[in-house]
Amino acid sequence: MEPLSSFFAVSVILLGIGIYGLTTKRNAIRILFSVELIYNAANLNIIAFARLRSPPLVTGQVLVLFTIALAAMEAAVGLSIIILVSRLNAEIDLSKLSKLKG
Amino acid sequence: MTDLLFLAFAAVTIGAAILAIEARDLVYGAAALGIAFLGVAGLFFLLDAAYVGWFQIAVYIGAVVVLILFTVMLVGPKMGETPLGLKRVSLLAAILVSLLLGMTGALANATAFPGPDSCGSGCSLTLLSTSLLKSYGVQLEFMSLVMAAAVIGALALSKTDRGQ
Amino acid sequence: MLGPLQPLVDMITSPLFLMIVLFPGLTSIAIIGALLGWLERKVTARVQLRIGPLYASPAGGILQMFADLIKLSFKELFVPENSDAFFFIMAPTTGLVIGAALVGLIPFAPGLQIANIEVGLPAFLAIITLSPSLVLLAGWSANSKFPFIGGLRALFQQTAYEIPLWLSALGVIMMAGSLNLAQIVAAQSAGWFIIPQALGAFIFLVTSVAEMERLPFDLPEAESEIMMGWQAEYPGVLFLAAQGPGFVKLYAFSALFTTIYLGGFLGPSFLPPLFWMLLKTLVIIVLIMLLRSTFPRVRLDQLLRAGWTTLLSLAIVNIGVTYLLVVGLPTF
C-alpha cells in the first residue's frame, strides 16, 4: 500500500495548481475551474487523513460527501451568474468587469 | 500493483489539472477538468472510499462538468481570453506554488505517515450510511436546505434575465 | 511444460480473462449488439406489417447487420473540415467503452460477473452519467448546426432524467438493503421486486428509455427533424461507433432491469440460470422495441416537463410507499 504522504503530496500539488489558476487567470470560467480543483484537493486530503487512524474514521467520508454536494451547488450558482454577466456585459473577463467600482 | 495504480492516477490527475488551467480552448479545459476529477475518484478508490468515488464521478462529471461545458458553449469558447499583463501576480503565483511544492517535499517522508492498514470494518458501507443518516442527520437536512436555496437562486437569476 | 509461455497461457485460460473477452465481455457484446440491430428492424417491420431484413441469410436475414457492418467499414473515413478532430473521434469511441463497462457490472449467473463490487448499482448509474457530456462534445465538435442542436437536446434530456432514474432505483435498494447487484438478486429469491416496486419499475423503464435516447424519447437523434442529430456528420466506421453505444446500452439497461426488478438469473432449476437471465433480458428488449414502434415522438418541452415534475414526484411517492412496505407505519 502506498504511504499516505503520497496522497497528501498529490493533494498539495492540486491545491498549488488551483491557487496558480486563481491568481493568474482572468477568465471567470477558468477561475471556477481553479476553485473546483481546490475543492478536490481538500476532499482528497480529508479522505486520506481519515485513513490515518486505525480503525479509520468514517466521518471523513461523510464530510467529503457534503463537500461534493456543496461544490456542485456552488458550480450551479456560479455558472448561472457567469451566464447572466456574459449576457449583460458581453464579457466574462473579470478584470474588465468594473461597473461596481466607485 | 497499488503503487502502479497510484502513480497512474496521480499522474493523470495532476497532468489533467494543469491542462485544465492552461489549455487555450476552454472546451478542452473543461474536458481535462473532467479527467482530473476521474483521477481523484481513482485515488478515492485506492483509499477504500468506493462509494465516495462513485459519488464524485456522478456529481462532478455527471453534473458539474456538463454544466461547465454547457456554459462554455453558451457563452462562447473564445470569450475572455485576454492575456495577462501583470508580471507581479504571476511572480506571486510562482512563489506560492513553489512554497507548496516545498511543503510537499517535507511531507513526503514516508515514516511520518505510514501506509494505511487494511480497512476492514472501518470502511464498511453500513457504517458510512448509519453515520451519514444517524450521527449527521441534522447536517444532512441543513445541506438539503442549502441545496434548495441554491436551486431557487439559480432559477431566480435566469428568471430576471428573461424579464429584461 | 510450456516454459516461459506458461504465465501467458495461465492468463488466457483464467476465468476472468475468458469472461472479459468472451462472455459477458467484449465479443458477446459486439455480437449481441449487431443481433439487436437486426431484431429491432425485424420487430419494427412486423408491427408495421412489413417483412424487414430477409435476404442476407436463410434465417430471416439474421446476417443483415453484419453485412451492414462490412459495408460501413469499407466507406471512406474522413473528418469534416473545420471540425474538432480530437473530440470528433474521441467521443463515440469512449461511448463504446462506457457501454461495455456497463455490461461488466451485471451478474449474468452465479459467479458469471466481471466486476462484483460492493456498490454495483450506484456504479452503474454513475457510469451512465458520463454519457451526456460525451454526446454534447460529439455534437459540438462536428461544428455544424444539427449535431449541435442534437447534443444540446441530449444534454437537457439526459440530465433531466438522471434524477428520477436514481430515485426509482432507490426503492430497490431499500427493499434489498444492499447496493451490490448480486445481493439484490439474492434478496429476490422470496419474490421479484417488480410486484412491490411496480411504480418504481415503471419510472425506471421510462427514464432508462429516455437515457438511451430511443423512441419515443429520441429527440437528440430525431431523424425526421434534425437528421440523426449529433450523429449527422459521422462517416463510415465512426458512424458505427456512434450507433453502437445505443444498442450496447439497450442490452445493459435491459439486463439491469432484469437484475433489479425481475429476479435476475433466478428461475426454475430445470434450466441453467444464464438461460433465465437472457430470456428475461430479451423480453425487456422486445418490450422497449415495441415502445419504439407504437408511440410517436414527444416534444422537447413535454419531455422536460414530464421528467422534472411528473416522474420526479412519482419517484418520491414510490420512495414513501417503499418506506411503508419495508419499515411499516412510523410510530410517534
| Chain segment C87-142, per-residue pLDDT in tens | 888 888 888 888 888 888 888 877 777 778 888 888 888 888 888 888 888 888 88
Residues C127, B57: C-beta atoms closer than 8 Å: yes
Highest mean pLDDT of the ranges A95-99, B62-66, B106-110: B62-66
* Percent residues over pLDDT 70 in chain B: 70
What is the domain range of residue A66? 4-91
Q: Kindly list the residues from chain A whose CB atom is less than 8 angstroms away from the CB atom of residue B29.
A: 29-30, 33
- Alpha-carbon torsion, ordered C283, C284, C285, C289, to 10 deg: 100
Q: Any chain C CB within 8 A of the CB of B123? A: no
Q: Looking at residue B36, what is its pLDDT?
A: 92
CB of A38 closer than 8 Å to CB of A15: yes
- Alpha-carbon torsion, ordered C261, C264, C270, C272, to 10 deg: 160
Residue A58 is nearest to which of B36, B40, B131, comparing CB atoms? Answer: B131
User: Considering chain C, what is the average pLDDT of its residues?
Assistant: 82
Domain count, chain B: 2
CATH of the domain at A63: 1.10.287.3510
Question: What is the rounded average pLDDT of the residues C5-29?
Answer: 77
pLDDT-based confidence at residue C305 (cuts at 50, 70, 90): confident
Q: Kindly list the residues from chain C whose CB atom is less than 8 angstroms away from the CB atom of residue B73.
A: 136, 140, 148, 152
CATH of the domain at B60: 1.20.120.1200
**What gap in Å lies between CA C198 and CA C203, rounded to an integer?**
9
Question: What is the rounded average pLDDT of the residues A43-65?
Answer: 83
Contacting B residues, span 19-48, partner chain C, CB-CB under 8 Å: 27-28, 31, 34
Give the phi and the psi of residue A27 in degrees, each rounded to 5. Answer: -85, 130
Q: Give the SS3 label for residue B23.
A: coil
> C65 in a domain, yes or no?
no
Question: What is the rounded average pLDDT of the residues C183-207?
Answer: 85
> A99 in a domain, yes or no?
no
Q: Give the SS3 label for residue C329.
A: coil
Q: Is the pLDDT of residue B115 over 60?
A: no
> A16 in a domain, yes or no?
yes
* Percent residues over pLDDT 90 in chain C: 1
The residue from B79, B94, B118 where one domain ends is B79
> C91 in a domain, yes or no?
yes
Q: Kindly list the residues from chain B whose CB atom is less than 8 angstroms away from the CB atom of residue A26.
A: 80, 82, 84
DSSP bridge pairs for A93: A27
Q: Is the pLDDT of residue C196 over 70?
A: yes
What is the domain range of residue C318? 79-326
Task: Give pLDDT tens digits for C220-231.
Answer: 777 777 777 777
Residues B34, C118: C-beta atoms closer than 8 Å: no
Least confident of B48-62, C16-30, C157-171, C177-191: C16-30
Question: What is the rounded average pLDDT of the residues C9-22?
Answer: 76
> C269 in a domain, yes or no?
yes
Q: Is the pLDDT of residue B1 over 80?
A: no
Q: What is the DSSP string of C174-205?
A: HHHT-S-HHHHHHGGGSS-TTTTTHHHHHHHH
> B109 in a domain, yes or no?
no
Q: Give the SS3 label for residue C92.
A: helix
- CA nearest neighbour of C318 among C197, C206, C225, C216: C197
Q: Which helix (H) or strand (E) holds A28?
A: helix A28-50
A45 to chain B: closest CA residue = B44
pLDDT-based confidence at residue B109 (cuts at 50, 70, 90): low
* C74-to-B114, C212, C246, C248 alpha-carbon distances in Å: 57, 28, 22, 22
* Percent residues over pLDDT 70 in chain C: 98
Question: What is the rounded average pLDDT of the residues B125-150?
Answer: 86
> A97 in a domain, yes or no?
no
Q: Is the pLDDT of residue B85 over 60?
A: no
> A96 in a domain, yes or no?
no
Q: Looking at residue C95, what is its pLDDT?
A: 85
Question: What is the rounded average pLDDT of the residues C254-277?
Answer: 83
Residue A61 is nearest to which of B3, B112, B128, comparing CB atoms? Answer: B128
> C255 in a domain, yes or no?
yes
> C273 in a domain, yes or no?
yes
End-to-end CA distance of chain A: 57
Q: Rounded to two decimals, what is the model's pTM?
A: 0.86
What is the domain range of residue B137? 127-164
Residues B2 and B75 in one domain: yes
Residue B49 is nearest to which of A20, A61, A92, comparing CB atoms? Answer: A61
Residues in chain C: 332
Residue A3 is nearest to which of B26, B114, B151, comparing CB atoms? Answer: B114
Question: Where is pLDDT greater, at B160 or C293?
Answer: C293
**What gap in Å lies between CA B5 and CA B75, rounded to an integer?**
38
Suggest the residue from A8, A11, A12 to mutate for an interface test with chain B (most B CBs closer than 10 A): A12
CA–CA–CA angle B46, A22, A5 (5° rounding):
30
- CA nearest neighbour of B17 among A39, A19, A37, A23: A37
Highest mean pLDDT of the ranges C20-34, C51-65, C109-123, C199-213: C199-213
Show Cβ contacts of residue A91 under 8 Å, excluding neighbours closer than 6 positions.
A85, A97, B79, B80
> B148 in a domain, yes or no?
yes
Inter-helix orientation angle C145-176/C120-128, to 10°: 170
Q: Any chain C CB within 8 A of the CB of B50? A: yes
> C51 in a domain, yes or no?
no
> C67 in a domain, yes or no?
no
Domain count, chain A: 1
Q: Is the pLDDT of residue C219 over 60?
A: yes
Q: Is the pLDDT of residue B80 over 70?
A: no
**What gap in Å lies between CA C220 and CA C197, rounded to an integer?**
30
**What gap in Å lies between CA B90 and CA B92, rounded to an integer?**
5
Question: What is the rounded average pLDDT of the residues A54-81?
Answer: 85
Q: Kindly list the residues from chain B whose CB atom is less than 8 angstroms away from the CB atom of residue C150.
A: none
Q: Any chain B CB within 8 A of the CB of A89? A: no
Q: How far is A45 from chain B (nearest CA, A)?
A: 10
**What gap in Å lies between CA A80 and CA A78, rounded to an integer?**
6
Suggest the residue from A31, A39, A53, A80 to mutate for an interface test with chain B (most B CBs closer than 10 A): A80
Question: Where is pLDDT greater, at C66 or A38?
Answer: A38
Q: Looking at residue B116, what is its pLDDT?
A: 59
Give the phi and the psi of residue C110 in degrees, each rounded to 5. Answer: -55, 120
Contacting C residues, span 177-196, partner chain B, CB-CB under 8 Å: 179
Residues B147, A4: C-beta atoms closer than 8 Å: no
Domain count, chain C: 1
pLDDT-based confidence at residue C146 (cuts at 50, 70, 90): confident
Q: Looking at residue A40, what is its pLDDT?
A: 92
DSSP bridge pairs for A27: A93
Question: What is the rounded average pLDDT of the residues A57-75?
Answer: 87
> B140 in a domain, yes or no?
yes
CB of B47 closer than 8 Å to CB of A1: no
Which residue type occupies A16? G
